[in-house]
A and B are shown apart, each in its own frame.
Chain A
């Protein structure tokens, strides 16, 4: 091992010596070649310079050739390379000459490029290339921007014009879907291209350039929107929204791309606004459609009511008419809801805009359309109550009855059904205030109540007029002994029965106080017993009036005062009671204004007995009829100078006969 180490040591020494020798030799070689090295470097430098100079001298001819060949790109590249150098050595006459030549050629080149650019028919990428080259040539950028935009404008304006031509009166106008398609692909596509190219080319121009583009886009965009709005405005009527929604969808979608590209121009927002406006208008149209459909139903009902009855054929009953009106109105509402629902379908591009998610559903559909329609329905119904003609000639009472039942049905069931349906279909997502179901129901109930009250008044008036005429025109002093009931009383009973039947068609019976067993046999003896003895006293000495008045006042204290016009409930008995109360009160007041002879009084007795026989079954409390009729006879007796009441048995005989 020691030997090996020694060997290695020797080797290492030898290596070191060799290395030193090599280093020495290398240095000597470099020094020798140093000279050559420098000269070669110099030569290489000169060679390069010469090449450059050659390039420069050849530049004009090369440029010319390039221009001729149409290889503009290359020409511009050459030009770019040489420009700086030429600039620096301007003062040398030869360079000056070259520079001048080059400038001339470059100018020509630029002109040609511009020419190509202006011609325009060459298509966008080539144009972009032109612009790029021109920029590289150092043309002022604003000019180029302007020209570029002007060029784009020309193309887009052509698109707009063709769209406008479609709006013109010459038929056939293509449908709105085609229109928006054309607009979308033609105009919007072009705009996108222009915008994209511009941004690429003039990105270096910074905000000023972007501003120009935005202004350009905004202006053209607004003209496009104006055209679109005009076209949409032509889309009046028609309850089918599907085509409209699709067209709007396409329109909106198309504008997403430029919207992203040209955020500053606000195109997408403007488009959304247009869509919102159209949607609002549609809602308004739907509301009007519903209202006119309702009025149409009512006109039909009035015609059906007024149509002369063909013998042998029953006209449509009230219940049937009511069912028709209710079902057709409900049908219309559902159809409107369905067609408006299209605006919020998932596939539609604008359906998740905040307006459509929130305000459209709550304010637009629920409030304006549905609630608005129900309110206008109530208002229309109430207007029938305020008919100017007090004589009731304008509105057939049956119509009032029908409307009041309709409103009552709405209050009990239909309103909540419709609103539930609406809420299901249009999920409300914003916090704007909505009318609760209870408010609407209260309004509907109030309308129903008013209508029913007006009906009672009208019918009461009809019967009252009959009774009044009968009392006012008859000669009560000279009348003969009564042989039968007067015809007018029979008519009153007939009319009351007819009203009873009419109301019974639509309203339930209601509750009546249990009648006493002999109510129908209630005889006249009750009239002339205890109550009336005092009243028939013929003497008119000062003391007598006090007695009879005392008696009658005491009687009145114990009987309930009759409220002639108490609020009417929603059942048949209440309605009839109201009508009969009004009629009998009229009879009472009229009787108090005449003077009766003996037989006149007896006629009144007979008439009242007849009425009492037949009217008690219509009212809630038969005591009411008895009370009022007793009053009538008592008042007649007071108005008679020589009161001799007829025998009850005779009265009964006459009434049974009549």
Chain B
């Protein structure tokens, strides 16, 4: 019986101290994890269950023990204290739907709606009675030749949270959750499998995708024939792409070439020319540099020794980000100070 561990890591950035708590997830090994935006003690996981010589990925919603919730108080004194177990709230559906690849929470909601992607189905769930029951609200399926399987999905924070993007093989599709119908489809978004998606938090129609063709592409969903921008900085599969939550010109990508790259995509961000200044405030410095902004790689982080599978930004501090690699190394980094002041001022 495989018991997976969830490590809750507390990072105190004033003192640069890390505290770690371990939670037991007894259902099986975890392939995907996402936290509820409303309740910091609730999370959803996709885990493998081995039954009759077959492996099926199921999804469930869990609650952490209260004393271990992040952002709390003092942590247990040493790592040898007994690990606490997660409390199962509800399962997301019978496994008959297929293997669940990903669970996504509605971003601005009250933690009551989630989407799960199982094989070629999109399932929209309502969590009722403080998340102890999951009711299937609506669903959609992808029809077509061959075995279609969703690999990842993401909920768009715009349009009143009614849009979801999914990736299957090399295509990226957009869905409307009110009608569960497809809005747009980017065929052959990448030459090979699409690994991750992210929406631009400030610009409504902009989406980033990354895949096994070692590229990161930025799309305007109103015109899906051609990407707005393509990055080819990595030399192997790109596993994660993330926009910074407040400053969308900062884009983070992690790849199996063991590198994390922080890029400055100024030209397609919501503030290509920096802050808009009133005419009164214009000083000589503003007039000096009016050239079109240049996209560039800010930094390449090579602290990992093996493939980097996940990257993300902190929701507390917009200048902090973390990356996780195969060998279990979690690296927390900051945006270089010079760039931070440049963006702020």
- Contacts from A to B (Cβ < 8 Å): 390-391, 461, 477-478, 540, 542, 545, 549, 552-553, 556-557, 561, 563-565, 585, 589, 592, 595, 597, 635, 641
Are A564 and B235 touching (Cβ within 8 A)? yes
Contact flag A545-B328 (CB < 8 Å), given A556-B305, A585-B256, A595-B50: yes
Q: Could you tell me the distance in whole angstroms from the C-beta of A480 to the nearest C-beta in chain B?
A: 12
Are B257 and A565 touching (Cβ within 8 A)? yes
Are B2 and A641 touching (Cβ within 8 A)? yes
Residues of B close to A563: CB separation below 8 A: 235, 257
B166 at the interface (CB under 8 A from A): no
B326 at the interface (CB under 8 A from A): yes
Are A478 and B191 touching (Cβ within 8 A)? no
Residues of B close to A597: CB separation below 8 A: 53
The binding surface of chain A is classed by DSSP as loop
CA distance A598 to B188 in the complex (A): 37
Which of B50, B191, B257, B305 makes the CB contact (< 8 A) with A391?
Answer: B191
CA distance A589 to B55 in the complex (A): 19
CA distance A273 to B305 in the complex (A): 69
B10 at the interface (CB under 8 A from A): no
CA distance A478 to B50 in the complex (A): 12
Residues of B close to A561: CB separation below 8 A: 258, 305
Which of A477, A564, A641 makes the CB contact (< 8 A) with B236?
Answer: A564
CA distance A552 to B237 in the complex (A): 23
Are A557 and B305 touching (Cβ within 8 A)? yes
Size of the chain B interface, CB-CB below 8 angstroms? 30
Are B3 and A540 touching (Cβ within 8 A)? yes
Are A589 and B307 touching (Cβ within 8 A)? yes
Residues of A close to B158: CB separation below 8 A: none
B9 at the interface (CB under 8 A from A): no
Given contacts A390-B191, A585-B236, A641-B2, 5 further A-B contacts (CB under 8 A): A390-B213, A549-B327, A556-B327, A563-B235, A565-B214
CA distance A597 to B50 in the complex (A): 11
Q: Could you tell me the distance in whole angstroms from the C-beta of B146 to the nearest C-beta in chain A?
A: 12
Are A595 and B327 touching (Cβ within 8 A)? no
Residues of A close to B213: CB separation below 8 A: 390
- Contacts from B to A (Cβ < 8 Å): 2-3, 5, 22, 48, 50, 53-55, 79, 83, 188, 190-192, 213-214, 235-237, 256-258, 305-307, 326-329
Residues of B close to A549: CB separation below 8 A: 327-328
B307 and chain A: residue at smallest CB distance: A589
Are B191 and A477 touching (Cβ within 8 A)? no
Residues of A close to B305: CB separation below 8 A: 553, 556-557, 561
B48, B50, B305 — most chain A CB neighbours (10 Å): B305
Task: Give 14 CB contacts A-B under 8 Å.
Answer: A477-B50, A478-B53, A540-B2, A542-B79, A549-B327, A553-B327, A556-B305, A557-B305, A561-B305, A564-B257, A565-B214, A592-B307, A595-B50, A641-B50
Residues of B close to A557: CB separation below 8 A: 305
Q: Could you tell me the distance in whole angstroms from the C-beta of A370 to the nearest C-beta in chain B?
A: 33
Q: Could you tell me the distance in whole angstroms from the C-beta of B147 to the nearest C-beta in chain A?
A: 10
B3 and chain A: residue at smallest CB distance: A540
CA distance A390 to B258 in the complex (A): 24
CA distance A564 to B55 in the complex (A): 31
Residues of A close to B190: CB separation below 8 A: 390
Q: Could you tell me the distance in whole angstroms from the C-beta of B256 to the nearest C-beta in chain A?
A: 6
A478, A545, A557, A564 — most chain B CB neighbours (10 Å): A564
Q: Could you tell me the distance in whole angstroms from the C-beta of A253 to the nearest C-beta in chain B?
A: 57
Are A542 and B191 touching (Cβ within 8 A)? no
Contact flag A542-B257 (CB < 8 Å), given A390-B213, A565-B235: no
B256 and chain A: residue at smallest CB distance: A589
Are B327 and A477 touching (Cβ within 8 A)? no
Are B5 and A477 touching (Cβ within 8 A)? no
Residues of A close to B83: CB separation below 8 A: 542
Residues of B close to A552: CB separation below 8 A: 327
Residues of A close to B54: CB separation below 8 A: 477-478
Residues of B close to A542: CB separation below 8 A: 5, 22, 79, 83
Residues of A close to B326: CB separation below 8 A: 592, 635
B22, B53, B191 — most chain A CB neighbours (10 Å): B191
B234 and chain A: residue at smallest CB distance: A565
CA distance A478 to B329 in the complex (A): 32
Q: What 4 pairs across the A-B complex have the smallest Cβ distances?
A: A390-B191, A565-B235, A556-B305, A478-B53
Residues of B close to A635: CB separation below 8 A: 326
Are A595 and B257 touching (Cβ within 8 A)? no
CA distance A589 to B2 in the complex (A): 21
Q: Could you tell me the distance in whole angstroms from the C-beta of B2 to the nearest C-beta in chain A?
A: 6
Residues of B close to A556: CB separation below 8 A: 305-306, 327
Are A589 and B237 touching (Cβ within 8 A)? yes
Residues of B close to A641: CB separation below 8 A: 2, 50
CA distance A390 to B170 in the complex (A): 11
Residues of B close to A565: CB separation below 8 A: 214, 235-236, 257
CA distance A477 to B213 in the complex (A): 29
Residues of A close to B257: CB separation below 8 A: 563-565
B304 and chain A: residue at smallest CB distance: A561
Residues of A close to B2: CB separation below 8 A: 540, 641
A389 and chain B: residue at smallest CB distance: B191
CA distance A391 to B327 in the complex (A): 32
Residues of A close to B48: CB separation below 8 A: 595
CA distance A118 to B42 in the complex (A): 114
CA distance A545 to B22 in the complex (A): 13
Q: Could you tell me the distance in whole angstroms from the C-beta of B239 to the nearest C-beta in chain A?
A: 9
Q: Could you tell me the distance in whole angstroms from the C-beta of B240 to the nearest C-beta in chain A?
A: 14
CA distance A57 to B256 in the complex (A): 127
Residues of A close to B5: CB separation below 8 A: 542
Q: Could you tell me the distance in whole angstroms from the C-beta of A477 to the nearest C-beta in chain B?
A: 5
CA distance A542 to B4 in the complex (A): 10
Residues of B close to A545: CB separation below 8 A: 328
Q: Could you tell me the distance in whole angstroms from the C-beta of B195 to the nearest C-beta in chain A?
A: 10
B235 and chain A: residue at smallest CB distance: A565
Q: Could you tell me the distance in whole angstroms from the C-beta of B233 to the nearest C-beta in chain A?
A: 11
Which of B3, B53, B214 makes the CB contact (< 8 A) with A477?
Answer: B53
CA distance A589 to B195 in the complex (A): 13
A589, A592, A597, A641 — most chain B CB neighbours (10 Å): A589
Residues of A close to B191: CB separation below 8 A: 390-391
Q: Could you tell me the distance in whole angstroms from the C-beta of B305 to the nearest C-beta in chain A?
A: 4
CA distance A552 to B235 in the complex (A): 23
